[in-house]
Amino acid sequence: MVGRTLAGMRVLVFLDGTVADPETAHIRVDDLGLLRGDGIFETVLAADGKLRELGRHLDRLERSAAMLDLPAPDRAAWERAIGTLLERWPSDRECAVKLVYTRGPEGTGMPTAFVLGQEIPEKVLRQRVDGIAVVTLERGFGPDVAERAPWLLLGAKSLSYAVNMAALREAERRGADDVLFTAADGSVLEGPTATVVITEGRTLRTPPANIGILPGTTQGGLFGWAERAGWSVKVEPLTVPELRAADAVLLLSSLRRVTRVHTIDGEGLPDSTEVHRELVSLYESLY
């Protein structure tokens, strides 16, 4: 069943294959995903009727579920539900396919799981072309805390995104589009919804996941293909001065794809249009 809102069309499929009306309430008010953000999610891009990096997304869903002590996701069931959604989505329109998996209603031991298809926000489409301005915001901990305190769930894609959304509102107040989080020692972490990548000559660099950030699905796909195309890739710590000195600073995610950063903390960066165009072409050639 397809629903339409002011933001466009939506398709909702539960993990048992039920196609439901996205305009009707389905989640219980005592669902722990709602009450406590106790759950996980992934967002997969479907373009030209094809899913991008689905395997990497399902791998990360399994990893996040393990970190939250949720039952292991039924991979085949997720794939079937996604297939059912795409059967109802026009193949010539991009779709943000959101996989949501919560602990379910309190005390039932029955997780809630569904797939929701939505249109890509107009703002994201513009930013792919125009690039973005970012501000750096400290996240308040060092790069070693993820290994020392696994209960903080750093690196899990949980539903607890209130801090990330607050950071984006702060960026807007400062006249920027997005955020680059930094650790207490000044090292670069990630964006609220994206992976940071820089280019230095023919080398791509991104921070390692063990410092408490999400392993990027789009970044993983791009790095693998870039190596085959003759680029060098490095997964190692980054600093803000290194970002300013780079040939290009990029934010990568499923929906934004490969988006260039043109301004950091109000300071314009060197023009990276040509590098960005080459990497977008390289990424799109994957599909």
Residue 261 scores a pLDDT above 80: yes
SS3 of residue 12 by DSSP: strand
For the chain, the first-to-last Cα distance in angstroms comes to: 28
Q: Is 7 exposed, middle or buried (0-12, 13-18, 19+ CB in 10 A)?
A: exposed
Average pLDDT, the chain: 94
pLDDT level of residue 285 (50, 70, 90 thresholds)? confident
Place of tokens 């926000």: 121
Q: pLDDT value at position 164?
A: 95
Q: pLDDT value at position 1?
A: 61
Residue 4 scores a pLDDT above 90: no
Cβ contacts of 240 within 8 Å, gap of 6 or more: 136, 180, 182, 186, 188, 264
Q: pLDDT value at position 286?
A: 77
DSSP structure class, residue 159? S
Kindly report the CA angle at 100 between 97 and 102, in degrees rounded to 5? 180
Cα 7 to chain centroid distance, Å, stands at 20
Residue 151 scores a pLDDT above 60: yes
Q: Residue 104's closest CA among 149, 41, 8, 38?
A: 38
2-120 folds as: D-amino Acid Aminotransferase; Chain A, domain 1 (3.30.470)
Domain 124-284: state its class: alpha beta
pLDDT level of residue 8 (50, 70, 90 thresholds)? confident
Residue 6 scores a pLDDT above 50: no
Q: pLDDT value at position 141?
A: 87
Percent of the chain surpassing pLDDT 90:
89
pLDDT level of residue 246 (50, 70, 90 thresholds)? very high
Domains 2-120 and 124-284 agree in fold = no
CA atoms within 13 A on the CB side of 284: 12
Average pLDDT, integer, range 22-46: 96
Average pLDDT, integer, range 112-139: 97
Q: Residue 137's closest CA among 97, 101, 178, 103?
A: 178
Average pLDDT, integer, range 167-194: 97
Average pLDDT, integer, range 48-77: 96
Question: Which two tokens mark 111?
Answer: 């997780």
Q: Map out the domains of the chain as residue ranges.
A: 2-120, 124-284
C-alpha–C-alpha distance, residues 276 and 130, integer Å: 11
Query: Sign of torsion, CA 268 274 276 277?
Result: positive
Percent of the chain surpassing pLDDT 70:
98
Q: pLDDT value at position 117?
A: 98
Please report how the helices 217-228 and 54-67 are oriented relative to each other, as an axis angle in degrees rounded to 10.
140
pTM of the model: 0.93
C-alpha–C-alpha distance, residues 103 and 69, integer Å: 9
Average pLDDT, integer, range 129-143: 94
C-alpha–C-alpha distance, residues 163 and 152, integer Å: 13
